[in-house]
């Protein structure tokens, strides 16, 4: 795992719709690759000399955006109201600091206020109710005028959790924000760099190409565009998947930190192509790569929209187990990032045309005139 890359991406400011800083943070790591962004902040990354020569196109997808917030309104007393960008739960927000970006591009620190214990009745202390609409964001101002004129903050300014990346080398442990899904973005950039260094992409059975998509957390909007543009035949979606090991027993947990990459059999948005999974698991066995299968009752990924484009796109969904995604602080293990990178990289290199036909189900009926 390239720690500097994950650090740069994790620290980057990029809630849904405001991913520009993530693009700029990624750029120094794209040396030797060709890349461009579109008007929505989607980032397309190709191997040098990529040629569409009739081989199937394999899209590597991850989303660039993170769960964040937006300034919804500014009250006379100088407190701000917020609206969510993505699925954070309101109970995870009070008593946390955030960064707001104003229209001049300056970052302002704020505190999402927890109702002070001093002003609560006995009853309120036992049952606090948290609704996003009632949360107050405090930037240290005393009036609406001060918020606007002195802090330069307006309605509509974007907000992210205020967290800095840290790596604990001794335990191989990453700490930071937005591992959903900057770990996926980091994995794809590393894979593209390895494929570029191999220098033999023209001999592969597939054409690997990457698109990092904006606005996933508000409904897979970026991938709706990237899939139309790339027109993939197959895809691998990378995710920072919610780690469940503290919430289920060992038998039931399916996203345990340190147990390898997660291969998602289904979630609410997509039922995976079983042929793709069996090919991936054969490769994992061959290279001794750790993985765990998951059948998720909830959740969804960009596979939902990518699978429905072109002539139906089989998607493999790989997840790096990440604790507390969609809240301020996350943990993940470098070994799980490595397992995810290794499995996808080997898959790209070793997919043969027979396996691609099998995954595309050309071996069921084929075509008859």
Q: Which residues bind Zn ion (CB under 5 A)?
A: 180-181
Shortest distance (Å) from residue 66 CB to Zn ion: 9
Quote the CA–CA distance of 283 and 298 in Å, as a whole number: 28
Give the count of alpha carbons within 13 A of 164, CB side only.
1
CB-wise, 79 or 330, nearer to Zn ion? 330
274-286 vs 334-350: helix crossing angle, rounded to 10: 110
Structure tokens belonging to residue 61: 């997808």
CB-wise, 80 or 320, nearer to Zn ion? 320
Shortest distance (Å) from residue 317 CB to Zn ion: 11
Shortest distance (Å) from residue 326 CB to Zn ion: 8
Quote the CA–CA distance of 254 and 242 in Å, as a whole number: 10
User: Which SS3 state, helix, strand or coil, does residue 116 take?
Assistant: coil
Give how far Cα 64 sits from Cα of 12, 19, 149, 164, Å. 10, 7, 32, 17
Q: Which residues contact 364 (CB under 8 A, 6 or more apart)?
A: none
Quote the CA–CA distance of 243 and 138 in Å, as a whole number: 31
Closest by CA to 245, choosing from 343, 297, 321, 169, is 321
8 Å CB contact between 254 and 215: no
CB-wise, 178 or 201, nearer to Zn ion? 178
CB-wise, 79 or 302, nearer to Zn ion? 302
Q: Which residue has the tokens 């139906």?
A: 312
CB-wise, 41 or 181, nearer to Zn ion? 181
CB-wise, 18 or 151, nearer to Zn ion? 18
Quote the CA–CA distance of 323 and 197 in Å, as a whole number: 32
User: Which SS3 state, helix, strand or coil, does residue 98 take?
Assistant: strand
Shortest distance (Å) from residue 62 CB to Zn ion: 8
CB-wise, 132 or 218, nearer to Zn ion? 218
Quote the CA–CA distance of 277 and 292 in Å, as a whole number: 12
Shortest distance (Å) from residue 177 CB to Zn ion: 13
Shortest distance (Å) from residue 216 CB to Zn ion: 6
Shortest distance (Å) from residue 88 CB to Zn ion: 12
CB-wise, 59 or 74, nearer to Zn ion? 59
Instruction: Write the DSSP symbol of residue 66.
Output: B
Structure tokens belonging to residue 92: 């995870």
Quote the CA–CA distance of 193 and 185 in Å, as a whole number: 12
Shortest distance (Å) from residue 63 CB to Zn ion: 6
CB-wise, 157 or 267, nearer to Zn ion? 267
Shortest distance (Å) from residue 181 CB to Zn ion: 4
Tell me phi and psi for residue 225, to 5 degrees.
-80, -45
Q: Which residues contact 149 (CB under 8 A, 6 or more apart)?
A: none
């Amino acid at each position: 795992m390239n720690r500097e890359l994950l650090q740069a991406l994790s620290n980057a400011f990029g809630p849904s719709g405001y991913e520009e800083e993530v693009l700029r943070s990624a750029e120094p790591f794209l040396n030797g690759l060709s890349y461009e962004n579109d008007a929505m902040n989607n980032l397309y990354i190709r191997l040098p000399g990529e040629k569409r020569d009739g081989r199937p196109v394999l899209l590597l997808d991850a989303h660039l955006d993170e769960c964040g917030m937006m300034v919804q309104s500014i009250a006379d007393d100088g407190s701000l109201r917020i609206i969510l960008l993505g699925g954070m739960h309101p109970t995870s927000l009070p008593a946390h600091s955030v960064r707001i970006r104003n229209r001049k591009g300056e970052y302002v620190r704020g505190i999402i206020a927890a109702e002070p214990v001093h002003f609560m009745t006995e009853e309120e202390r036992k049952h606090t109710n948290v609704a996003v609409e009632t949360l107050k964001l405090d930037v240290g101002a005393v009036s609406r005028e001060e918020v606007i004129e002195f802090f330069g903050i307006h309605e509509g300014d974007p907000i992210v959790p205020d967290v800095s990346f840290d790596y604990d080398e001794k335990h191989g442990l990453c700490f930071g924000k937005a591992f959903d899904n900057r770990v996926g973005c980091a994995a794809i950039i590393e894979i593209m760099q390895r494929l570029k260094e191999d220098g033999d992409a023209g001999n592969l059975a597939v054409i690997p190409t990457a698109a990092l998509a904006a606005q996933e957390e508000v409904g897979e909007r970026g991938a709706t565009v990237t899939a139309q543009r790339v027109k993939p035949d197959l895809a691998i979606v990378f995710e920072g998947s919610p780690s469940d090991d503290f919430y289920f027993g060992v038998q039931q947990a399916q996203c345990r930190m340190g147990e390898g990459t997660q291969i998602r059999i289904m979630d609410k948005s997509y039922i995976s192509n079983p042929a793709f999974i069996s090919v991936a698991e054969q490769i994992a066995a061959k290279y001794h790569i750790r993985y765990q299968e998951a059948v998720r009752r909830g959740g969804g990924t960009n596979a939902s929209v990518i699978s429905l484009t072109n002539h139906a796109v089989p998607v493999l969904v790989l997840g790096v187990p990440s604790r507390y995604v969609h809240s301020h602080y996350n943990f993940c293990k470098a070994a799980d990032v490595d397992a995810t990178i290794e499995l996808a990289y080997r898959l790209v290199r070793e997919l043969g045309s027979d396996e691609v036909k099998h995954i595309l189900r050309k071996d069921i009926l084929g075509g008859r005139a």
